[in-house]
Structure 1
């Protein structure tokens, strides 16, 4: 009996993967202003935003795993990253926030879930602050409302500017073909093959876009604005990649609680094993967390509809 159940589960998983592959092959990414968006599946819209210098493909496996939960993935490629042509902006993050919110409005996405990794998570927070009613739920993957305070609790926007400028110059002029660059990227994933992908994406990214975006991340503090968010929020975070620096799980948890103290009802979960790219390093854990969080939204919507009858 157990063998039959396992075989059935394997068959269902294989069928879901085959359907996803067919859908992905048929779906051509559409252009929306300066964004590129690939839409896959049918069901509740889930907008997936990658991080700095990342390709939209970082979300492919997560999207495939969620298809059995009847979601429609809207996988975003940000301009200037991983080979997509850059766009001129005075400020990158506000411009991308506004484009993403316009996408939700103009595509008339109903009760969307927004999932963002790293810089994408920061954008998701900015979206929910600017337009609290536009988003049903937020999933923030390894991102902070103020990055410098993750290292130095006394950090402010002003005292972070010199470090931000130094990092900006490094991104503008650093040698992305060097062994040192690859070593820097190795803290982001346990897998050497995935690190190779991260390095390739970085090399294909526009230097000015990445440098500007990083400077803005380092000099924008969202903590005091988190109270504007009315959206149930799940934060999925890593710590294992920084363990060799002396960082412990409890230290990471305490830092996250401080960072998100202004967001009522936030739920924070830490992966025990994954590095920064949690969707690759701890995929089953991340997929289960997201699936459960979306299911809770579906149950709430179903209950609300039943009460309204």
Structure 2
């Protein structure tokens, strides 16, 4: 193919940066460092400032935090992790408790990268993992932001350990038996009814959730239903911010009638054992607060980080 000489065509030289940008943003995108820490796949963004570790929820990946990463990397070193089996990453080949493996891998990441007291920011299941880590290793972190992630699955605090085990086993069997088309349909229905308010956002992000391994997703979900980390929070002597989403229409009909104030108080009760936990409600939003209300979410996160 004929390529005009740059010495003969100075106008082409001036256009070259624009052509490269149009071809894929090569000049606009900074390099992203990647590594592995135990079962975690890790992306590192930014090169100065205090550290923030972002942990997605069930079937999530760094895409959950894209706007957050764009904002934080200007003033922080951001580690966006992906749990094994999620977002196209291989599922763990051997057995063992996945929550334990994730906790050990977070510890490995902090040690191998010599991260000085990061803030853990977790969504949903990732928030639960962050709260658990705070109870076990409070001396290693500066604080936790849990985005609709709690020390026990909402509603399960009224069930016995045996009841939670039975429900988790049944759910894991049903969820793990789904075919790929069924899994994709379930992901879309979840995003439409629980994940986000905007149907366009649901259609955009549901396929990303569905990139995850079905059986690994079922295992993580089962462990989440069984887990009760409330008493462990007594050792979590770091600042904790719980972000509670609220969308009034979702709580207007029985049996889910609850005001925004009542839901905030309920979340606060589940965190009662934590010495320094605060709940902030963000509305109108559903489970993926950072997608429904990116500005309000970022304001809450920025305020927390500045308070440390």
Using the size of structure 1 for normalisation, the TM-score is: 0.83
Contact 2:88–2:211 (Cα < 8 Å) also in 1: yes
Contact 1:176–1:202 (Cα < 8 Å) also in 2: no
1:21 and 1:50 mapped to 2: Cα distance? 27
Contact 2:87–2:208 (Cα < 8 Å) also in 1: yes
Q: C-alpha displacement at 1:175, in angstroms?
A: 4.7
Q: 1:32 to 1:265 in 2, by over 3 A?
A: closer
Contact 1:175–1:181 (Cα < 8 Å) also in 2: no
Q: 1:231 to 1:89 in 2, by over 3 A?
A: farther
Q: C-alpha displacement at 1:74, in angstroms?
A: 0.5
- What is the CA deviation profile of residues 92-115 of structure 1, one whole-angstrom value per residue up to 9, with x for unaligned ones? 011111101110111111121110
Q: Does residue 173 of the first structure (1) align with residue 177 of the second (2)?
A: yes
Between 244-253 and 45-54, the greater mean CA deviation after superposition: 244-253
Q: Does residue 140 of the first structure (1) align with residue 146 of the second (2)?
A: yes
Q: C-alpha displacement at 1:64, in angstroms?
A: 1.1
- What is the CA deviation profile of residues 76-128 of structure 1, one whole-angstrom value per residue up to 9, with x for unaligned ones? 11110011111133100111111011101111111211100011111111211
Q: Does residue 111 of the first structure (1) align with residue 117 of the second (2)?
A: yes
Please state whether the residue corresponding to 1:204 is helix, strand or coil.
Answer: coil
Contact 1:239–1:247 (Cα < 8 Å) also in 2: no
Please state whether the residue corresponding to 1:190 is helix, strand or coil.
Answer: coil
- What is the CA deviation profile of residues 15-52 of structure 1, one whole-angstrom value per residue up to 9, with x for unaligned ones? xxxxx996854114222333211111121110000011
How many residue pairs get matched? 275
Q: Does residue 214 of the first structure (1) align with residue 218 of the second (2)?
A: no
Using the size of structure 2 for normalisation, the TM-score is: 0.83
Contact 1:83–1:201 (Cα < 8 Å) also in 2: no
Q: 1:151 to 1:134 in 2, by over 3 A?
A: same
1:258 to 247, 269, 276: 269
Q: Which residue of 1 aligns with 2:163?
A: 159
Q: Which residue of 1 aligns with 2:210?
A: 203
1:139 and 1:21 mapped to 2: Cα distance? 33
Aligned pairs for 1:51-200 (under 5 A) are 51-68=57-74, 70-87=75-92, 88-147=94-153, 150-151=154-155, 153-175=157-179, 177-178=181-182, 179=185, 182-186=188-192, 187-200=194-207
Q: Which has the higher helix share?
A: 1
Q: Does residue 243 of the first structure (1) align with residue 254 of the second (2)?
A: no
1:175 and 1:293 mapped to 2: Cα distance? 42
2:53 and 2:28 mapped to 1: Cα distance? 17
Contact 2:38–2:108 (Cα < 8 Å) also in 1: no
Q: C-alpha displacement at 1:295, in angstroms?
A: 1.1
Unpaired runs of 5+ in structure 1?
1-19, 298-309
- What is the CA deviation profile of residues 219-240 of structure 1, one whole-angstrom value per residue up to 9, with x for unaligned ones? 1101111101111111111131
